[in-house]
Chain A
Amino acid sequence: QQNVQQSPESLIVPEGARTSLNCTFSDSASQYFWWYRQHSGKAPKALMSIFSNGEKEEGRFTIHLNKASLHFSLHIRDSQPSDSALYLCAVSVGDNSKLIWGLGTSLVVNP
């Protein structure tokens, strides 16, 4: 049974800071890796995904995957108060569309 863990549980950073969020998974057959963002009371919304080892950058957001370490991360450059939200990582295995989720990291960016 896949186990997905996120760290830290919560994070408070000043505006403009670089923020790093971590996600570890237990099943080495995992193939698809996602970060979702959820503002309070709203729908989880896909932020970024990565399907092979390495790094992908989209604007202020960078996702990094190391399958050998069973770890992927999300980095936010120049954090903004609007980035304050719950960040959820999710993993799927093989050709399975089922997502296994972490508990989330609650991020607060103070102006």
Chain B
Amino acid sequence: GPKVLQIPSHQIIDMGQMVTLNCDPVSNHLYFYWYKQILGQQMEFLVNFYNGKVMEKSKLFKDQFSVERPDGSYFTLKIQPTALEDSAVYFCASSLNRVGNTLYFGEGSRLIVV
């Protein structure tokens, strides 16, 4: 089936540094998402993105977070600067349409901030 690729799968980074998580969504999909999962907790919505713009973001999407997809390349989540509480697995997803459509997820990027 359709696949979403996430790079890197794991990253360890010093607190205060910048990190960029990359996502290669399903090729004909138009809507892109980031979800965050802290160990032992539910997966939580961070942001969705369409046509070059953030459509909706949650309170977890702090000012230090940004997303973009320049010229149809990777859909990226950038955290600058990172904090200890940013340690989590970040899942990227994409869908063809917005409402009631299946989200296709990547395998996640595990971020550890030390």
Give A contacts to B, CB under 8 Å. 4, 31-32, 34, 36, 41-46, 49, 51, 88, 92, 95-103
Contact between chains at A98 and B91 (CB < 8 Å): no
Q: How far is the CA of A111 from the CA of B106 in the complex (A)?
A: 29
Inter-chain contact A98/B56, CB cutoff 8 Å:
yes
Chain B interface residues (CB < 8 Å from chain A): 1, 4, 31, 33, 35, 41-45, 48, 55-56, 58, 91, 95, 98-108
Q: Could you tell me if A97 and B44 are in contact, using CB atoms closer than 8 angstroms?
A: no
A103 touches B41 (CB 8 A): yes
Contacts of B102 in A (CB 8 A): 34, 46, 49
User: Sorted from nearest, which 4 A-B pairs have the closest CB atoms?
Assistant: A43-B105, A101-B43, A97-B98, A46-B102
Pair B105/A101 contact, Cβ less than 8 Å: no
- Chain A contacts for B106, CB-based, 8 A: 43
Point out which of A41, A45, A97, A102 has the most chain B C-beta atoms below 10 A from its C-beta: A97
In the complex with contacts A44-B91, A103-B42, A97-B99 CB distance below 8 A: yes
State the CA gap A101–B101 with chains docked (Å). 16
Judge whether A101 and B31 touch: CB under 8 Å: no
Is the pair B100, A32 in contact by a Cβ cutoff of 8 Å? Answer: yes
Q: A46-B104, A95-B98, A95-B99 are in contact. List 7 more A-B contacts (CB 8 A).
A: A31-B100, A44-B91, A45-B105, A97-B31, A97-B33, A98-B45, A98-B48
The answer to whether B42 and A44 have CB atoms under 8 Å apart is no
Nearest Cβ distance between residue B23 and chain A, in whole angstroms?
11
> What's the Cα separation between A88 and B41 when bound, in Å?
12
